[in-house]
Amino acid sequence: MNQLEQLKQHTTIVADTGDFQSMKAFAPRDATTNPSLILKAVQKDEYKPMLEKAVRDNAGKSIDEIIDRLLVAFGVEILKIIPGRVSTETDARLSFDTEATIEKGRTLIKLYEDADIARERVLIKIASTWEGIRAAEVLEKEGIRCNMTLLFALPQAIACAEAGAQLISPFVGRIYDWYKKATGQEYAGADDPGVQSVKRIYNYYRKFGYKTEVMGASFRNTSQLTELAGCDLLTISPELLQKLADNDAPVTRKLSAESAQAADLQKLTLDEKTFRFMLNEDAMGTEKLAEGIRLFCADAVKLEKMVAALR
């Protein structure tokens, strides 16, 4: 078996793309999207008609409403290809607005249900700020499942689990990027700080009985992926999926609920003040969260401009 086939024996594979052909080629169970991926997709000739249709069919609606319908249109098409769930992201500009995030989550789920998609097949992606986590807590109680994104630090992961979030997406590659830049060192295998972060979170969840799923995200190389074999899910770009498919080196399970019991971890309970202080003490987590929100906001603005130009 190639590495992709071996990895699928230990971990659920998720496609990190808005490209339908890639999903058909690699047969993932789930798929994730974000504003950057949708922006990239609609600039391709094969997906421009989806953007044009969303604008045409929703003439008279606001740009915000048109984009919501475009995101859901992509999600609906993706769900025709994959057997599992699709993640659709809320606007990053709402990252510090709990009530607006709740309303956006409800709006997106209603659009999916209007398209005859059961809410169980949709994850609403929300930034793992304190405000975003509080929004997820409300949405989860309403049966709207959430994927907590832009997650870089253990206090974010703990708060998400305590809020009952369905799934978290710790960003392996962006953690690696920060440490590589800060230290001038290359990291590989088990020494990779991004890999170590996800292992710590996974072990914490399993040791203390949290049900929240861990989905490693934002990978830079296949070594990061094989080091996390056994993680609940891994969301992988088409480029890295291809590299795994082209390699038949052995893949062994690195994470398990059994091994997590031996992890040297202390259980923490976080109120808002403790959460904010712990995150502030983590320079990498603080900087990458702020940077990630800015980048997603910038791509959301670019997408709005594309919609406005077609109206």
Neighbours of 24 (CB within 10 A): 11
Active-site position among 8, 104, 125, 254: 125
Strand intervals (E) in the chain: 12-16, 30-32, 86-89, 122-127, 146-151, 167-170, 213-216, 233-236
| Measured distance CA(165)–CA(39) in Å, rounded | 27
Whether 125 sits among the annotated catalytic residues: the reply is yes
Query: How is residue 269 written in tokens?
Result: 């309970």
Task: Report CA torsion sign: 276, 278, 280, 285.
Answer: negative
Distances (CA, A) of 115 to 20, 69, 109, 155: 19, 10, 10, 37
Side chain identity at residue 310, one-letter code? L
Angle at 201 between CA 119 and CA 18, to 5 degrees: 45
Residues involved in catalysis: 125
